């Protein structure tokens, strides 16, 4: 496991998201969306919609999903599964809170229900 700090707890209120970058297994930078759902839970998913390469961190958080502002697809923050018009899920990443900081493990990605 390779946890990388992505933000402080104070960076997001419930139903907000931000973009961050984490380092992948090969040293590549992976853009992710760090999201707080409406209940205050924390999630990390791919930053781009699989349907149209639109920034998901700019979308609206509704319940435990984030909506792509480009075409209205919603992505489940726990599984990455989309609603139409998107058909491919986004990757979800392991997220941990330590002290007042949020950490993500880019090597822990899973797509859909893997």
User: What confidence score (pLDDT) does residue 111 get?
Assistant: 73
User: What confidence score (pLDDT) does residue 53 get?
Assistant: 85
User: What confidence score (pLDDT) does residue 109 get?
Assistant: 82
Q: Contacts from 57-61 at CB under 8 Å and sequence distance 24+?
A: 57/17, 57/18, 57/19, 57/33, 58/17, 59/17, 60/15, 61/14, 61/15, 61/16, 61/17, 61/35, 61/36, 61/37
For 53-112, what is each residue's pLDDT tens digit?
899 999 999 999 999 999 999 999 999 999 999 999 999 999 999 999 999 999 888 876
Domains and CATH numbers, the chain: 3-111 (2.102.10.10)
For 32-70, what is each residue's pLDDT tens digit?
999 999 999 999 999 999 998 899 999 999 999 999 999
């Amino acid at each position: 496991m390779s946890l990388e700090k992505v933000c402080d707890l104070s960076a997001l209120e419930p139903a907000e998201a931000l973009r961050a970058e984490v380092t992948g297994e090969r040293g590549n930078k992976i853009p992710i969306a760090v999201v707080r759902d409406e209940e205050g839970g924390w999630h990390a998913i791919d930053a781009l919609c699989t349907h149209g390469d639109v920034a998901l961190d700019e979308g609206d958080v509704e319940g435990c999903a984030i909506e792509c502002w480009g075409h209205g697809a919603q992505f489940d923050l726990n599984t990455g599964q989309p609603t139409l018009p998107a058909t491919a899920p986004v990757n979800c990443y392991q997220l941990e809170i330590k002290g007042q900081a949020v950490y993500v493990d880019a090597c822990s990605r899973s797509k859909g229900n893997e």
